[in-house]
Amino acid sequence: MRVLAAIVLGAVMSTGAMAFGENSGVGVGVCIPSGDLAEVNETSWYVQARSLSARKVVGWRAGTYYGDTTAHGSIDGGRVYGFDAEALARFGGRASFGYVFAGAGYGRLTFSRPGDLPGVVVRSSEWDWSMQGGVGVVINRKIYLEAMYVQFQTDPKSAFIPVVIGFQY
């Protein structure tokens, strides 16, 4: 049920973003925990709505997202949601092109991570800033693929890698 609600929310947010960008869409994929998160959490699902615009080479990208992870054993997994805005460099043709992007965002990250003592797991839930960068490709203005590295500025810093496939309208 959460997946369906997240997809519907992503579609609504993407529709709103269409007013600002020429390539808006919604996608689903995997959320791969990195660093300390990877020690306790497993890969799970991710949904996003994003819009980007680049008339020539330079442009912008903005998105909203929701991700979920399952933890090892009986420990509760994590979830993340928020928004981001990035500068973008585009290369390629009109209908099919690649792009790289980097920027900042803000969101809420709830997660389990290893504690300072061996075998201890700490549960955290924080609103904080994030930094991210990634690569993407748009195919025939209809399909897009993105992969990025997201690092939340929590204490300690927490990171994950979403890999998404989506459609544009």
Q: How far is CA 138 from CA 13, 98, 105, in A?
A: 19, 6, 22
Structural domain including 118 reads: 2-168
Which of 50-64, 106-120, 129-143, 151-165 bottoms out in mean pLDDT, i.e. has the lowest? 106-120
Tokens of 16: 């709103």
Q: How many domains does the chain have?
A: 1
The two beta strands, 158-168 and 143-152, are antiparallel
> DSSP string of 49-98?
EEEEE-SSSEEEEEEEEEEEEEESTTS--EEEEEEEEEEEEEEE-SSSEE
CATH code of the domain in which 137 resides: 2.40.160.20
- Convert the pLDDT of each residue in 129-163 to its tens digit: 999 999 999 999 999 999 999 999 988 888 999 99
The two beta strands, 97-114 and 143-152, are unpaired
Element (H, E) at 16: helix 2-17
